[in-house]
Amino acid sequence: MKVTHLLSLVPFIGMVFALPLVDRVEPYVLGMPFNLFWVVLWVVLTSAIIGLIYIIDPANRGGEAE
């Protein structure tokens, strides 16, 4: 399995399988209940991971198509 495929699974695992583990209101982080903070954190991390996948993908290293 390619590294890009494994990286794309990380947000899925963080949102789907880890959310029930962190399903609690206390503590408050940045004024949000912890489970809401967890979802917002993974939205931001997903964008960063997709950007990283774009950078390391060999298909994006070529020149411009004509």
* 22-64 per-position pLDDT tens digit: 877 788 888 888 888 888 999 999 999 999 988 888 777 776 6
Q: Supply φ then ψ for residue 14, to 5 degrees.
A: -65, -35
pTM: 0.76
Handedness of CA 16, 20, 24, 28 (dihedral sign): negative
Q: Which residues pair with 33 in a beta bridge?
A: 28
Closest CA to 10 of 48, 60, 40: 48
Q: Which residue type occupies 53?
A: I
The pLDDT of 7-21, averaged and rounded, is 86
Q: pLDDT at position 47, please? A: 94
Q: pLDDT at position 27, please? A: 87
Are 15 and 35 in contact by the 8 Å Cβ rule? The answer is no
